[in-house]
Structure 1
Amino acid sequence: MLGLSFLLLTGPVSSASTLRCGSDLVSLDDHTGEVQNKCGEPLSRDFIGYRVIVGYYGERSEVQIEEWAYGPRNGMYNYLRFEGNRLVKIESKRGN
């Protein structure tokens, strides 16, 4: 919850499809393991909940949703959202 509270208290948000971690680049659809190998251990990891996926034939499955925070890097915090261990959203926010 601390990570979510911090997110609400900082400045404007911008979205991107890639994030530079040193000389590496992470992109949407990367696995959690790939991101951690390239960016290191996150500042925080927040469990958000589950999302139900309904398949073509009506079969249902649940995927876990997590948000990882990195930063500050040059005054910016980066928030990465994973669904089912896949990166689905990258947001950058300037800290106060």
Structure 2
Amino acid sequence: MNEALARTRIKLLINLTLATMAGSVATSSYATSTLRCGNQLVSTWDRAFEVQQKCGEPVSQEVLGTQETFNSNYRRSEAVRIEEWIYGLNRPG
């Protein structure tokens, strides 16, 4: 089997300002960005330490870039770093 096909890719958005995400964020838009890791679920907006607790260390890790997000309600912006973490097919977690 092709090694690239045997790996699962997840993209994480890690908030560089370390601000907590508000609980009022609509979850429906993130439902398709969820991945099962053992008996746990990880999502695109999960923090790095949460993913590592659930899935362990990734096989590979790469910074893809940064993105600035804006919140018009509070007139503030936050910079986020976009990373791609790769886990093996049979990764424990």
Q: So what's the TM-score if we normalise by structure 2?
A: 0.51
Relative distance call for 1:58 and 1:25 in structure 2 (3 A) is closer
In 2: Cα distance, 1:72 partner to 1:37 partner:
17
Q: Deviations over 1:1-44 (max 9, x none)?
A: xxxxxxxx945x9x953322222222343222111101000011
Task: State percent identity of aligned pairs.
Answer: 44
Secondary structure in 1 matching 2:80: strand
Give the structure 2 partner of residue 73 of structure 1. Answer: 90
| Structure 1 unaligned residues grouped into runs of 5+ | 1-8, 75-96
Is residue 21 from structure 1 mapped to residue 42 from structure 2 by the alignment?
no
SS in 1 for 2:89: strand
**TM-score, scaled to structure 1:** 0.50
- In structure 2, the residue corresponding to 1:29 is in which secondary structure? coil
State the alpha-carbon separation in 2 of the partners of residues 39 and 65 from structure 1: 18
Matches within 5 A, 1:1-96: 10=4, 16-56=32-72, 59-73=76-90
Q: Which has the higher strand share?
A: 1
User: Structure with the greater relative contact order (CA < 8 A, sep ≥ 6): 1 or 2?
Assistant: 2
Cα gap change, 1:32 to 1:60, in 2 (>3 Å): same
Relative to structure 1, is the Cα distance of residues 59 and 21 closer, same or farther in structure 2, using a 3 angstrom cutoff? Answer: closer
RMSD: 3.1
Q: Report the Cα offset of residue 58 of structure 1.
A: 5.1
